[in-house]
Amino acid sequence: MELVERALAGDRRALGQLLRRVEDGTAEGREALRLLYPRSGRAHVVGVTGTPGSGKSTLVSQLALGLRQRQRTVAIVPVDPSSPLSGGALLGDRIRMQELAGDPGVFIKSMAAREALGGLAETTADVVAVLDAVGHDVIMIETVGVGQAEVDVVRTAHTTLVVLVPGLGDDIQAMKAGLLEVADLFVINKADREGADTLARQIRAMLALGAPMDRPPPILLTVATTGQGVEAVLAEIDAHWRYLVESSQLVRRAQEQARRRVLELARTALLARLSRQLGGSGLLEEQVAAVAARQLDPYTAAERLVEAVLPSP
């Protein structure tokens, strides 16, 4: 496939076109993924999430600059499922990321919010696989950590940074909403403001309440606008990668993710086949009507549909 060849040769325009096809789930996108997937699996995928406006994009830009100084190539994937137009925020990010824009070692691919067929997390995983396959060393995914969709997105990362800011009661709420358990590393950004140490103590106290952890997430303070503390974050990101490799978790996670993904896709494929084979037979409508009229329970109805297509031996 020509587009794949060109993307592999470092053609950024081709890569952009390829990623759009993958994102849209077109036949060409599928084919590209089939060709490229065996080349993926080398990049360190870093998820950056946290409360809105906490400085995630600023931090990601700084991390990218630091990684470039270390001669590592970087891809950045801002995901914005909350705003259907993904206008303002990303535009702002783009401007802030300008310093990186002219660098051939940095590629930025934003994920538009849309009715993705396979779900945002799945589509993002496909996009990440392609960015990985064409040779990026580190891929950073930025999401606003508010909804389940976003938590699902960061679950596809190897290392997850949760970015919080001092002086917001919201942060504690956010942690209760599931951010606490996805964090491999806490970053208290805007440490130039009052209350960073208090927040660090609160996080530590909250972690102490939970189940004992093999590796309690470090808590680091940064001022992303000046770059203060960013080197330490980079060091911890690397340390976490080494931990994943040495504890064999990297292999285990890859297996778990593969299992989840394959089963999910098999489910989708089965469902598609079910509706195709039932199409026109009227069986589905019959069952739906019976359940709606309370003549039949939904379990039995579903069982009948499956039985009609895949009779049990």
Ligand X SMILES: Nc1nc2c(ncn2[C@@H]2O[C@H](COP(=O)(O)OP(=O)(O)OP(=O)(O)O)[C@@H](O)[C@H]2O)c(=O)[nH]1
User: What is the per-residue DSSP string for 30-54?
Assistant: HHHHHHHGGG-S-SEEEEEEESTTS
Min dist CB 111 to ligand X, Å, is 13
Report which secondary-structure segment, H or E, holds 164.
strand 159-164
Does position 57 interact with ligand X (CB under 6 A)? The reply is yes
Contact 46, 138 (CB under 8 A): yes
Min dist CB 19 to ligand X, Å, is 21
Does position 21 interact with ligand X (CB under 6 A)? The reply is no
Min dist CB 12 to ligand X, Å, is 24
- Per CB under 6 A, contacts with ligand X among 138-167 are 144
Q: Which does 229 bind (CB under 5 to 8 A by kind): ligand X, Mg ion, none?
A: none
- Out of 10, 16, 53, 87, the only residue in the binding site for ligand X (CB under 6 A) is 53
Min dist CB 176 to ligand X, Å, is 19
- Per CB under 6 A, the segment of 8-16, 208-216, 217-225, 305-313 that binds ligand X is 217-225
Q: Two tokens at 214?
A: 């093999």
- Per CB under 6 A, the segment of 23-31, 148-156, 186-194, 275-283 that binds ligand X is 186-194
Which amino acid is residue 221, in one-letter code? Answer: L
Collect all residues with Cβ–Cβ distance below 8 Å to 257 and sequence separation of at least 6.
156
Q: Which is nearer to Mg ion, 57 or 62 (CB)?
A: 57
- Out of 4, 43, 89, 120, the only residue in the binding site for ligand X (CB under 6 A) is 89
Report in angstroms the alpha-carbon separations of 246 from 24, 239, 249. Answer: 37, 10, 8
Separation of alpha carbons 96 and 55, rounded Å: 11
Q: Which is nearer to ligand X, 58 or 73 (CB)?
A: 58
Contact 50, 199 (CB under 8 A): no
Query: Which neighbouring-strand residues pair with 160?
Result: 47
Does position 52 interact with ligand X (CB under 6 A)? The reply is yes
- Out of 189, 196, 207, 217, the only residue in the binding site for ligand X (CB under 6 A) is 189
Does position 56 interact with ligand X (CB under 6 A)? The reply is yes
* Torsion angles phi and psi, residue 258, rounded to 5: -65, -45
Does position 64 interact with ligand X (CB under 6 A)? The reply is no
Q: Which is nearer to ligand X, 11 or 170 (CB)?
A: 170
Separation of alpha carbons 172 and 204, rounded Å: 12
Give the interface with Mg ion as residue ranges (CB under 5 A).
56-57, 93
Q: Which is nearer to ligand X, 92 or 216 (CB)?
A: 92
Cβ atoms < 10 Å from Cβ of 41: 11
Contact 171, 53 (CB under 8 A): no
Q: Which is nearer to ligand X, 120 or 133 (CB)?
A: 120
- Per CB under 6 A, the segment of 19-27, 201-209, 223-231, 242-250 that binds ligand X is 223-231
Collect all residues with Cβ–Cβ distance below 8 Å to 269 and sequence separation of at least 6.
none
Separation of alpha carbons 63 and 247, rounded Å: 25
Does position 76 interact with ligand X (CB under 6 A)? The reply is no
Contact 244, 262 (CB under 8 A): no
| Number of residues engaging ligand X in binding (CB under 6 A) | 16
- Per CB under 6 A, the segment of 37-45, 220-228, 251-259, 271-279 that binds ligand X is 220-228
Interface residues with ligand X (CB under 6 A) are: 52-58, 89, 92, 144, 189-190, 192, 223-225
